[in-house]
Amino acid sequence: MAVSTQTPDESLSTADKARLDFTVLSAPASRLATQIGIGFQQADEVFAAQRRVGLDLALFNAEEQTHLPGPTVLVVDEDHTLRFVDVQPDYTARIEIADIFTALHDLT
């Protein structure tokens, strides 16, 4: 599953457009991200640049918030024990999919 700061409707639209075959949940105002320490606020100049190209996060995110979660992958086992964590400090970076598969394989 994935967790998004977008409104439930925007999360569903994103999942449909990307043809995701997993659930995308909505976590308004990045409260979950803030609670687990992965939330951040982009610099004003980044917001300004995004608005110039037609992206206004406040329109897409629940509760018109602009806080974002950092790219994070959590692997949780059947007992709800956290088994793998990857938090990217650079919001433009992502973990390699092979590393996620390895973490999942290690659960068996």
pLDDT in tens, 50-66: 889 988 877 777 666 77
Per-residue burial over 39-48, b = 16 or more CB atoms within 10 Å of its CB, e = otherwise = beeeeeeebe
- How confident is the model over 4-40, as pLDDT tens digits? 888 888 888 889 999 999 888 888 767 788 888 888 8
- pLDDT for the residue numbered 77: 92
Q: What is the pTM of this model?
A: 0.71
